[in-house]
Amino acid sequence: MKKIFLFILFAILTATAAFSAYFVWDRTPIPEYAQKYSASPLYCSYNEKTGTEIKFEFSPNGKAKNSIPRYEKQELASQGKTRIVFHDVYTMTNQFDYAQITASLFIEKLDYTLQGADLIVEIERKGAYTPVETTENANTVSIFLRPGDENYPAISNQSPADNSVLPPGKRKIKFEVNLKADLKTLNVFFQNQEVAASSTQITPGRYLFEFKEPIEKDKEYSVKTIVTDSQERTSIGEWVFEGQLAIETILGKDRFNYLGWWGQINSDNVSVRKTPTSSAQQLGYLSSINKVKVLEEVSGEDIDGNNVWYKIDGGRYQGSYIFSGYVTPIAQPQPPENLAVPQEVADGDYWIDVDLTKKILTLFLYDKPVFATYVSTGTDANPTPVGTFNVWYKLKKTEMKGGPPLVNYRYDLFNVPSVMYYDNSYAVHGTYWQDKFGTQQSAGCTNLTKGDAAFIFEKTNPKLEEEKISVLSSESNPGTVVHNHK
The pLDDT tens digits of the residues spanning 215-248 come to 998 899 999 999 999 999 999 999 999 998 888 8
Q: Is the pLDDT of residue 405 over 70?
A: no
Which one, of 50, 240, 45, lies nearest residue 130 by Cα?
50
For strand 426-430 and strand 446-448, is the pairing parallel, antiparallel, or unpaired?
parallel
Give residues with Cβ within 8 angstroms of 290, minimum separation 6: 264, 265, 435, 436
Q: Is the pLDDT of residue 409 over 70?
A: no
Would you say the CATH fold of 350-485 matches that of 37-145? Answer: no
Dihedral of the alpha carbons of 102, 103, 105, 106, in degrees to the nearest 10: -60
Query: What residue ranges do the domains of the chain occupy?
Result: 37-145, 154-243, 252-329, 350-485
**According to the model, what pLDDT value does residue 451 have?**
98
Cβ-in-10-Å burial (0-12, 13-18, 19+) of 47 comes to exposed
Q: Is the pLDDT of residue 25 over 60?
A: no
For strand 219-229 and strand 183-190, is the pairing parallel, antiparallel, or unpaired?
antiparallel
Instruction: Dump pLDDT digits (tens) for 183-209.
Output: 999 999 999 999 999 999 999 999 999
The CATH code of domain 37-145 reads: 2.60.40.3500
Which one, of 371, 335, 370, 338, lies nearest residue 355 by Cα?
335
> What is the 3-state composition of the chain as percent helix, strand, coil, each rounded to the nearest 5?
10, 50, 40
Instruction: Dump pLDDT digits (tens) for 58-80.
Output: 999 999 999 999 999 999 998 99
**According to the model, what pLDDT value does residue 273 have?**
98
Domain boundaries 350-485, CATH class: mainly beta
Taking a C-beta distance cutoff of 8 angstroms, is the pair 321, 250 a contact? no
Which one, of 286, 278, 370, 269, lies nearest residue 323 by Cα?
278
The CATH code of domain 154-243 reads: 2.60.40.1220
CATH classification number, 252-329, choose in 3.90.190.20, 2.60.40.10, 2.30.30.40, 3.90.1150.10: 2.30.30.40
Q: What is the mean pLDDT of residues 122-132?
A: 95
Q: Is the pLDDT of residue 22 over 50?
A: no
Q: What is the mean pLDDT of the chain?
A: 92
Which one, of 185, 197, 205, 184, lies nearest residue 223 by Cα?
197
Q: What is the mean pLDDT of residues 417-436?
A: 96
Q: Is the pLDDT of residue 10 over 90?
A: no
**According to the model, what pLDDT value does residue 21 have?**
47
Could you tell me the pLDDT band of residue 90, with boundaries at 50, 70 and 90? Answer: very high
Could you tell me the pLDDT band of residue 164, with boundaries at 50, 70 and 90? Answer: confident
Q: What is the mean pLDDT of residues 450-471?
A: 96
The torsion angles phi and psi of 251, rounded to 5 degrees, stand at: -105, -15
User: How many angstroms separate the CA atoms of 36 and 153, rounded?
Assistant: 42
